Protein backbone atom coordinates (compact mmCIF):
# COMPACT_ATOMS: atom_id res chain seq x y z
CA UNK A 1 0.00 0.00 0.00
CA UNK A 2 2.84 2.38 0.82
CA UNK A 3 4.40 1.91 -2.62
CA UNK A 4 1.01 2.54 -4.24
CA UNK A 5 0.61 5.80 -2.25
CA UNK A 6 4.01 7.04 -3.44
CA UNK A 7 3.17 6.23 -7.06
CA UNK A 8 -0.24 7.89 -6.71
CA UNK A 9 1.36 10.97 -5.15
CA UNK A 10 3.98 11.09 -7.92
CA UNK A 11 1.28 10.90 -10.62
CA UNK A 12 -0.78 13.65 -8.96
CA UNK A 13 2.31 15.85 -8.75
CA UNK A 14 3.17 15.17 -12.38
CA UNK A 15 -0.40 16.04 -13.47
CA UNK A 16 -0.29 19.24 -11.41
CA UNK A 17 3.02 20.31 -12.98
CA UNK A 18 1.78 19.52 -16.49
CA UNK A 19 -1.39 21.55 -15.83
CA UNK A 20 0.70 24.55 -14.74
CA UNK A 21 3.02 24.29 -17.74
CA UNK A 22 0.04 23.92 -20.10
CA UNK A 23 -1.57 27.09 -18.72
CA UNK A 24 1.65 29.05 -19.19
CA UNK A 25 2.11 27.74 -22.73
CA UNK A 26 -1.51 28.56 -23.63
CA UNK A 27 -1.08 32.19 -22.61
CA UNK A 28 2.35 32.49 -24.26
CA UNK A 29 0.91 31.17 -27.53
CA UNK A 30 -2.09 33.52 -27.23
CA UNK A 31 0.22 36.52 -26.75
CA UNK A 32 2.42 35.48 -29.67
CA UNK A 33 -0.61 35.01 -31.93
CA UNK A 34 -1.88 38.48 -31.05
CA UNK A 35 1.61 39.81 -31.73
CA UNK A 36 1.65 38.02 -35.06
CA UNK A 37 -1.65 39.58 -36.14
CA UNK A 38 -0.45 43.01 -34.96
CA UNK A 39 2.62 42.43 -37.10
CA UNK A 40 0.47 41.79 -40.16
CA UNK A 41 -1.08 45.26 -39.75
CA UNK A 42 2.37 46.75 -39.22
CA UNK A 43 4.31 45.08 -42.06
CA UNK A 44 2.76 46.88 -45.02
CA UNK A 45 3.17 50.31 -43.42
CA UNK A 46 6.78 49.64 -42.41
CA UNK A 47 7.67 49.47 -46.09
CA UNK A 48 5.40 52.23 -47.42
CA UNK A 49 4.09 54.83 -44.95
CA UNK A 50 6.50 54.63 -41.99
CA UNK A 51 9.64 55.51 -44.04
CA UNK A 52 7.97 58.77 -45.11
CA UNK A 53 7.69 59.99 -41.50
CA UNK A 54 10.23 62.25 -39.86
CA UNK A 55 11.55 60.34 -36.85
CA UNK A 56 13.64 61.41 -33.84
CA UNK A 57 17.34 60.52 -33.64
CA UNK A 58 16.65 57.85 -31.00
CA UNK A 59 14.29 55.89 -33.25
CA UNK A 60 15.48 52.26 -33.17
CA UNK A 61 16.12 50.38 -36.42
CA UNK A 62 13.11 48.46 -37.74
CA UNK A 63 14.84 45.07 -37.32
CA UNK A 64 14.89 45.57 -33.53
CA UNK A 65 11.12 45.58 -33.05
CA UNK A 66 10.25 41.92 -33.88
CA UNK A 67 12.72 40.31 -31.44
CA UNK A 68 11.90 42.81 -28.69
CA UNK A 69 8.15 42.29 -29.07
CA UNK A 70 8.52 38.50 -29.31
CA UNK A 71 10.49 38.49 -26.06
CA UNK A 72 7.96 40.77 -24.37
CA UNK A 73 5.02 38.63 -25.52
CA UNK A 74 6.72 35.52 -24.13
CA UNK A 75 7.39 37.26 -20.81
CA UNK A 76 3.80 38.52 -20.67
CA UNK A 77 2.50 35.02 -21.33
CA UNK A 78 4.67 33.48 -18.64
CA UNK A 79 3.54 36.16 -16.19
CA UNK A 80 -0.15 35.59 -16.93
CA UNK A 81 0.34 31.82 -16.76
CA UNK A 82 1.98 32.12 -13.34
CA UNK A 83 -0.99 34.16 -12.14
CA UNK A 84 -3.50 31.76 -13.70
CA UNK A 85 -1.81 28.92 -11.83
CA UNK A 86 -2.96 30.54 -8.55
CA UNK A 87 -6.65 30.31 -9.55
CA UNK A 88 -7.37 27.51 -7.06
CA UNK A 89 -6.02 29.59 -4.17
CA UNK A 90 -6.97 33.20 -4.98
CA UNK A 91 -9.87 32.91 -7.41
CA UNK A 92 -11.23 36.47 -7.29
CA UNK A 93 -7.81 38.16 -7.33
CA UNK A 94 -6.67 36.01 -10.24
CA UNK A 95 -9.84 36.68 -12.23
CA UNK A 96 -9.46 40.43 -11.66
CA UNK A 97 -5.78 40.37 -12.65
CA UNK A 98 -6.44 38.36 -15.80
CA UNK A 99 -9.23 40.75 -16.84
CA UNK A 100 -6.73 43.62 -16.66
CA UNK A 101 -4.27 41.48 -18.59
CA UNK A 102 -6.80 40.78 -21.35
CA UNK A 103 -7.73 44.46 -21.62
CA UNK A 104 -4.12 45.57 -21.92
CA UNK A 105 -3.44 42.85 -24.50
CA UNK A 106 -6.38 44.07 -26.59
CA UNK A 107 -5.15 47.67 -26.27
CA UNK A 108 -1.69 46.50 -27.31
CA UNK A 109 -3.12 45.11 -30.56
CA UNK A 110 -5.30 48.20 -31.06
CA UNK A 111 -2.26 50.50 -30.95
CA UNK A 112 -0.71 48.77 -33.98
CA UNK A 113 -3.95 49.18 -35.89
CA UNK A 114 -4.31 52.87 -34.97
CA UNK A 115 -0.70 53.78 -35.72
CA UNK A 116 0.20 51.54 -38.65
CA UNK A 117 -3.23 50.60 -39.99
CA UNK A 118 -5.04 53.95 -39.79
CA UNK A 119 -1.86 56.09 -39.79
CA UNK A 120 -3.38 58.08 -36.92
CA UNK A 121 -0.36 59.02 -34.82
CA UNK A 122 -2.26 61.25 -32.38
CA UNK A 123 -5.01 58.72 -31.66
CA UNK A 124 -2.38 56.00 -31.23
CA UNK A 125 -0.56 58.23 -28.73
CA UNK A 126 -3.73 58.83 -26.71
CA UNK A 127 -4.51 55.10 -26.77
CA UNK A 128 -0.93 54.36 -25.67
CA UNK A 129 -1.52 56.35 -22.48
CA UNK A 130 -4.50 54.12 -21.68
CA UNK A 131 -2.43 51.04 -22.57
CA UNK A 132 0.37 52.16 -20.22
CA UNK A 133 -2.12 52.64 -17.37
CA UNK A 134 -3.62 49.19 -17.96
CA UNK A 135 -0.17 47.56 -18.05
CA UNK A 136 0.71 49.30 -14.80
CA UNK A 137 -2.52 48.12 -13.17
CA UNK A 138 -1.88 44.60 -14.47
CA UNK A 139 1.60 44.77 -12.93
CA UNK A 140 0.11 45.85 -9.57
CA UNK A 141 -2.48 43.04 -9.64
CA UNK A 142 0.05 40.40 -10.76
CA UNK A 143 2.58 41.41 -8.12
CA UNK A 144 -0.01 40.86 -5.37
CA UNK A 145 -0.50 37.27 -6.57
CA UNK A 146 2.99 36.32 -7.75
CA UNK A 147 5.94 38.71 -7.45
CA UNK A 148 7.83 37.10 -10.33
CA UNK A 149 4.78 37.55 -12.58
CA UNK A 150 4.71 41.23 -11.69
CA UNK A 151 8.43 41.66 -12.33
CA UNK A 152 8.11 39.94 -15.72
CA UNK A 153 5.88 42.84 -16.83
CA UNK A 154 8.42 45.56 -15.97
CA UNK A 155 10.41 45.31 -19.24
CA UNK A 156 7.09 45.56 -21.11
CA UNK A 157 6.15 48.64 -19.12
CA UNK A 158 9.58 50.17 -19.83
CA UNK A 159 9.31 49.42 -23.57
CA UNK A 160 5.81 50.90 -23.79
CA UNK A 161 7.10 53.97 -21.93
CA UNK A 162 9.80 54.30 -24.58
CA UNK A 163 7.21 53.68 -27.32
CA UNK A 164 5.11 56.50 -25.86
CA UNK A 165 8.04 58.92 -25.99
CA UNK A 166 8.80 57.78 -29.54
CA UNK A 167 5.13 58.06 -30.58
CA UNK A 168 4.89 61.58 -29.12
CA UNK A 169 8.06 62.69 -30.89
CA UNK A 170 6.92 61.25 -34.23
CA UNK A 171 3.62 63.08 -33.83
CA UNK A 172 5.38 66.36 -33.00
CA UNK A 173 7.76 66.02 -35.95
CA UNK A 174 5.00 65.21 -38.43
CA UNK A 175 1.97 67.26 -37.38
pLDDT of residue 12: 81
Query: What do you get for the CA distance between the two ends of the chain, in Å?
Result: 77
Buried b (16+ CB within 10 A) or exposed e, 37-75: ebbebbeebeeeebeeeeeeeeeeeeeeeeeebeebbbb
- Residue 170 — pLDDT band, cuts 50, 70, 90? very high
Look up residue 1 and give its DSSP letter: -
| pLDDT classification of 146: cutoffs 50, 70, 90 | very high
Predicted pLDDT at 11: 79
More confident residue, 9 or 75: 75
Split into its structural domains, the chain has a count of: 1
Q: What range does the domain containing 70 cover? A: 18-174
Which of helix, strand or coil describes residue 54?
Answer: coil
Indicate which CATH number applies to the domain containing 86: 1.20.1260.100
Helix (H) or strand (E) holding 19: helix 2-47
Query: Domain for residue 8, yes or no?
Result: no
For 46-63, how does the pLDDT look when each residue is reduced to its tens digit (9 = 90+)? 999 999 999 999 999 999
Residue at 5 is within a domain: no
Average pLDDT (108-112) is 96
- CA–CA gap between residue 88 and residue 1 (Å, rounded): 29
As a dihedral over the C-alpha atoms of residue 92, residue 134, residue 109, residue 75, rounded to 10 degrees, the angle is -70
Is 147 domain-assigned? yes
Does 50 reside within a domain?
yes
Predicted confidence (pLDDT) at residue 4 exceeds the cutoff of 70: no
Mean pLDDT of the region 18-47: 94
Q: What is the pLDDT of residue 61?
A: 94
For residue 149, name the pLDDT band (cuts at 50, 70, 90): very high
Is residue 10 a part of any domain in this protein?
A: no
Among candidate residues 123, 128, 134, the one with its CA nearest the CA of residue 161: 128
Asked if pLDDT for residue 5 goes beyond 80, the answer is: no
Amino acid sequence: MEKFDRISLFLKLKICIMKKITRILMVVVTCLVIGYFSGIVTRASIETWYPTLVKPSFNPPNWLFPPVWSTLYIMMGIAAGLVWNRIDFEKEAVKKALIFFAIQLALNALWSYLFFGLHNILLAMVELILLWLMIYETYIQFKKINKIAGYLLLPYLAWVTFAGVLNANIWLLNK
